[in-house]
Amino acid sequence: MDAPAELIAILRKVERAAVLTGAGVSQESGLRTFRDSQEGLWAKYEPTDLATPEAFARDPKLVWDWYAWRSEAIKGARPNRGHYALAEMEAAIPNFSLITQNVDGLHRFAGSRNVLELHGNIQRVRCSVCGEFAENWDEEAEVTPACSKCGGLLRPHVVWFGEPLPEAILTAALVAVKECQVFFSIGTSGVVQPAASLARAAQTHGAIVVEINAESTPLTLQADYFFQGKSGEVLPDLVKEVWGKA
Ligand code: OAD
Ligand code: ZN
């Protein structure tokens, strides 16, 4: 992949960068993206039917079991070359923020440090009543495991449709977007707010926007650079061309 010379020159000098990633970055780790069809016994459900407070109130066990199934799939997943390339990029750029919509924890697994998990983390579980995090729980529980502190139902520590994003993390992401000189949007369909508006916000603050995605998205026409392809291939090539590593 030959990145344009002016982009390479910009990246070699950049001091402050922000990256937004979506499920596409984990696709080459074998994890299905959000818009991929569901498989097996979950095929008959839409994620939007399960990842909501209403679904959990209606049938907590169904929602708990769906996340347990997804969590199992993630336990076997390993970071791919795209995750590692982003960790290299963080090491090469003085002020670097990695904002992710993914709940799979693979960025940290690959060595990224400043990771802002906008939508939570599927490996963490909290009480749906008092918010206490649980480190272990009774998997054989009748409905869903109960909070050891107040007896409330435990739930995955992920953002459901219609729920607010974690305030402190969103604030940190907005600061990173305002301050960055280059903003990357990688492996996201760019349809879920507020993540989908971060690229435009960066651009209005004067940042160059670089999109890397398997297909074009609503952002593509506004991006300053668009690389169509797999992030596990494009990112290592870009990091190698700019910083000579990966
Ligand atoms: P999507 O499934 O909506 O989009 C994934 C994007 O990645 C698509 O545009 C694919 O074309 C692209 N893609 C697939 N494989 C790729 C690869 N190997 N390399 C590069 N791009 C690839 O997933 P998200 O955009 O992450 O929110 O979805 C955003 C949010 O929608 C999710 O976080 C979730 C859902 O609502 C919540 O659960 C709150
Ligand atoms: Zn509780």
| Structural domains present in the chain | 5-31+79-119+165-243 (3.40.50.1220), 32-76+122-158 (3.30.1600.10)
226, β-bridge pairs: 211
Which residue, 35, 12, 21, 122, is CA-closest to 80? 21
What atom in ligand 1 is closest to the CA of residue 102? Answer: 33
Residue nearest to atom 31 of ligand 1 (CA): 192
- Paired with 228 in beta bridges are 213
119 tagged catalytic:
yes
Which ligand minimizes its atom distance to the CA of 134? 2
For the chain, where are the E strands, in sequence order? 16-21, 95-100, 115-117, 120-127, 133-134, 154-158, 182-186, 208-213, 225-228
Going from the Cα of 31 to the center of ligand 1, the distance in angstroms, rounded, reads 11
Q: 136, exposed or middle or buried, with CB in 10 Å at 0-12, 13-18, 19+?
A: exposed
Residues near ligand 1 with C-beta < 6 Å? 22-24, 27-28, 33-35, 51, 101, 119, 159, 161, 187-189, 192, 213-215, 217, 230-232
Give the residue from 45, 89, 53 showing the smallest Cα distance to 70.
45
- Around 72, how many Cα atoms within 13 Å sit in the side-chain half-sphere? 6
pLDDT of residue 193: 83
Candidate of 86, 189, 210, 234 to mutate for ligand 1, largest count of ligand atoms within 8 Å of Cβ: 189
Q: Which ligand is nearest to the CA of 216?
A: 1
- pLDDT score recorded for residue 146: 93
> What torsion, rounded to 10 degrees, do the Cα atoms 15, 1, 231, 79 define?
-90
Cβ-defined contacts of 58-64 (< 8 Å, 24+): 60/143, 60/144, 60/153, 60/155, 61/143, 61/144, 63/144, 63/155, 64/143, 64/144, 64/145, 64/154, 64/155, 64/156
**Which residue, among 101, 99, 145, 105, has the nearest Cα to 121 in the 3D structure?**
105
In the reported structure, the alpha carbon of residue 192 is separated from the centroid of ligand 1 by a whole-number distance in angstroms of: 10
Q: How far is the CA of 6 from the centre of ligand 1 (A)?
A: 28
The tokens of 225 are what? Answer: 């650079």
Question: Can you give the pLDDT at residue 194?
Answer: 85
Nearest to 52 by CA among 131, 124, 159, 125: 159
Confidence (pLDDT) at 246: 54
Closest residue by CA, ligand 1 atom 34: 34
Q: What is the pLDDT along the chain (246 residues), one digit of tens a residue?
A: 788 999 999 999 999 999 999 999 999 999 987 766 666 677 788 888 899 999 999 999 999 999 998 898 899 999 999 999 999 999 999 999 999 999 999 999 999 999 999 999 999 999 999 999 999 888 777 778 999 999 999 999 999 999 999 999 999 999 999 999 999 999 999 888 888 899 999 999 999 999 999 999 999 999 999 999 999 999 999 999 999 865
Q: Which ligand is the nearest neighbour of the Cα of 20?
A: 1
Write down the pTM of the prediction. 0.94
> Considering 83, 107, 119, 157, which one is annotated as catalytic?
119
Structure-token pair, residue 132: 């206490």
